[in-house]
Structure formats: C-alpha cells, structure tokens
Homo-oligomer: A and B are copies of this chain.
Amino acid sequence: MTVATDQKLEQAREEFVAQWGALGTQWGINRTMAQIHALLMTSPHPMCTDEVMESLAVSRGNAHANLKELVNWGLVRMIVVKGDRRDFYEGEKDVWQIFTIIARERKRREIDPALALLNKCAEETKDLKGAEAKVFHNQMKQLEEFVSFASKMSDRVSSMRHGLAIQLATKILG
C-alpha cells in the first residue's frame, strides 16, 4: 500500500512539474525555471544541484543558472547543511508569498517601463497645438492614468497580508 501510494504520488508530482514547466512558457519564464520552481515548491526536503539535474534531466549549467535566478526572485532560498559542502535549495511554499513575489516582478518588468514610456510621450506632446496632437496627447494621458492606477493597485495588494487580501477579495466577489 505504501508502495502504491508512493508511486501515485511520484506520478502526480512528476505531472505537476512537467505541466507547470509548460505553463511557465505562457508566463514568459523559461521551462526549466518553472520546472525547478514546481519541483522545489513540492519537495519535502531542500535539494542540491545534482538532485535537480537528475530529477529534470537537465545540464548542470542550466540547473545552476535557473536556481540562481529563482533565488534572485526570492522564490527559492539557499540552504547550508553543515558537514556538507554542497548548496541546497528550498522552495517558498506559502502561496500568498509566491503570488506577491511574482506580482512584484511582473510589475517591475511589465508595468513600470510602460509607465515610463507613457509619461515621456505625454510630456513630449503636451504643448503641441494641432487637433491631431491633442488627440494623441490625450490618448497618452488616458493610458498613463490607467497604467499608473494599475501600478498603485499592484503595490497595494502586494503589500497586504494574506488575511486582508482575502477580506478585500471577498468583498469584491460577494
């Protein structure tokens, strides 16, 4: 029975890892990074580089680069096991933490640069006189206002505690 359970669990976990990797692609993060994330998020123990490599059948360089990136994001922590020279890695398991980390990163990469561009374009055209220029400037302002709004929302929600966010969401959905 334990053997059967172990097998089914391993199977489910493998599917999760594989598919989460495929999803990562849609999210603009590469397959290996998403797979490692899935692996560590569902690992009962911290893993070393070789375990990750074997588990996913990827090269050392690939495993290394993506572990590093995940640590950068804050989705994975490096763990030192005393008496062992290898680095171990442990995935963040708290769902709200995972969400806020990803939200922050996406904001940084997707919202902030857009806002900068819209600011610039609105600024450059604010004194122009023609009718077309007015229309263009107005469009930039509208976009800017909206994106700035989104930016603030994102910050606000990301900095909430889990419980508060749930409360808020309940209000919206209710």
Contacts and interface: CB of A to CB of B under 8 A. Distances in A.
A135 B93 CA distance: 11
Copies of this chain present in the complex amount to 2
A152 B173 CA distance: 7
A128 B5 CA distance: 6
Nearest to A120: B15
Contact of A130 (B9, B125, B140, B146): B9
What secondary structure prevails in chain A residues at the interface with B? helix
Contacts of A113: 23, 26
Interface of A: 1-2, 5-6, 8-9, 11-13, 15-16, 19-20, 23, 26-28, 41-42, 44, 93, 95-96, 99, 109-110, 113-114, 117, 120-121, 124-125, 128-130, 132-133, 135-136, 139-140, 142-143, 145-146, 149-150, 152-153, 156-157, 168-169, 172-173
20 contacts: A1-B129, A2-B129, A5-B129, A8-B124, A8-B125, A9-B128, A11-B124, A16-B117, A23-B114, A23-B117, A26-B109, A27-B28, A42-B136, A44-B135, A93-B139, A95-B143, A95-B146, A96-B146, A152-B173, A168-B172
